[in-house]
Amino acid sequence: MKLWMKILAAVFLLFAVAFASAYTFLSLQGKSLLISTLQKATGRNVSVGSIEIVLPLRLQVRKLQIEGLFKTETLRLTPGLLGLIVGKITVSDLTLIKPEFTYTKNDSPGALFQLPAPFVKDLVVSHLTIQDGKFTFIDRGVGPEGIVLNVEKINVTLSNSYIPPKTILSKFMLEGTIPWQEGSQTGTIFSDGWIDVFKRDMQATLRITDIDGIYLYPYYSNWVDIEKARIEKAKLNFTSTLHGVDNNLTAHCRLELTDIVRKPRSPEEPVERAERIADAVLDIFRAMNEGKVVLDFTVRTKMDRPEFGLGNIKSAVKDTITTARKAKGSESIAVLALPLKVLQGSIKSIGGVSRAMLDGSYAVGKELKTVIEESFKKN
């Protein structure tokens, strides 16, 4: 037998022995080792259906569940060699099929999103794929029963590129759907961009469409009364560009009201003060944005612990109204004291405020200004 054939046979035999040894070890100890490792890392109960090695070199875990946090039908993992270079635990390919993530927040609704820092700091995944995933956000800190937000049909692709000496550039894409209350139109979410986890830099875009404003009412019920304002339906779109440098994250955001439906009112019913206020505020925004109800605001937070709350939106609304009241010298007459019929659409821009006031009489008057300002003082 030629030498090269003997070498090839020896290599094949060595691989077969290694595979058989690994398979035997995983069959006997793999489940218990994985369970104990994850329980120690998360502090939660962990269960695993089965674990096996699939040729050429892939670890496959079925029915993995971390109580109250995560579960997946199938997890496929291929070890990588990048760790030898960067000193990290690396995975060449990681695929999650039908995973379900759960995050429960028990604090005050002041910070709507406040994500914990990752507990795995030395893990690098070269390629990540999520197929048909689901994310559930449970907020116990708002309303008597809390609120549950679901993102379904999540698909994610992430690829990492190693750039010497110490940079891993991650390009990602995420898409999903958001089912609101029954009978309501389903929302969508899309995000793409890149992130450098070592330098903590990033650039990305985020778009959420068809947000159900009524479903999210518990978050702003302390400063808006949708029953008295007779608001039956409200749809919004949200877009944001995110820029992160050295762990400092700046998000330039736009929230746009795309549709609003009011409950019908019989002719003999009086117009509630809350309804007049809602009309006034909406028309102020339309006057400032060429007929659109648009709110632009900026959020500054940290990449390793991002936070976003309704306080950002509340402050932006107040700042917009204040800006409208101070617009352009002689036109800085209090916009919040405009006649009701003017606020209902007879002005087309802030530049028409002064002329509109000359033609109208005060129906809402200074009371409207006072009530709106007081509404922003509520928690």
Q: Which band of pLDDT confidence, cut at 50, 70 and 90, is reported for residue 208?
A: very high
Q: Which band of pLDDT confidence, cut at 50, 70 and 90, is reported for residue 360?
A: very low
Residue-level pLDDT at 12 = 56
CA separation, residue 100 to residues 103, 117, 339 (Å): 10, 19, 52
Residue-level pLDDT at 15 = 53
SS3 of 174, please? strand
| Residues 12-71 pLDDT 10s | 555 555 555 555 555 545 677 778 877 887 788 888 888 877 766 778 888 889 888 889
Average model confidence (pLDDT) across the chain: 74
| Residues 218-239 pLDDT 10s | 888 777 788 888 888 899 999 9
Residue-level pLDDT at 204 = 97
Runs of H (alpha helix) within the chain? 3-25, 31-42, 83-86, 273-288, 310-325, 340-341, 353-359, 365-375
| 8 A C-beta contact, residue 251 and residue 275 | no
Amino acid 339 reads: P
Please tell me the distance from the alpha carbon of residue 91 to that of residue 127, in angstroms, as a whole number. 8
DSSP-assigned letters across all residues of 81-142: STHHHHSSEEEEEEEEES-EEEEEE-S-TTSSEEPPPPS-SSEEEEEEEEEEEEEEEEETTS
331 Cβ neighbours under 8 A, 6+ residues apart: 350, 351, 353, 354
Q: What is the domain partition of the chain in residue ranges? A: 48-199
Q: Which band of pLDDT confidence, cut at 50, 70 and 90, is reported for residue 268?
A: confident
Least confident of 50-59, 135-144, 173-182: 50-59
Residue-level pLDDT at 373 = 53
Q: Which residues of 175-195 are buried (b: 16+ CB within 10 A; e: fewer)?
A: bbebbbeeeeeebbbebebeb
What phi, psi does 356 have (nearest 5°)?
A: -65, -40
Dihedral of CA 239/336/350/318: which sign?
Answer: negative
| Residues 322-348 pLDDT 10s | 776 665 443 433 444 444 433 444 333
| Chain centre distance of CA 359 | 46
Q: Is the pLDDT of residue 150 over 90?
A: yes
| Residues 272-322 pLDDT 10s | 877 887 887 788 788 777 788 888 999 999 988 888 777 778 788 777 777
Query: Given the structure tokens 């028409």, which residue do they identify?
Result: 352
Residue-level pLDDT at 135 = 94
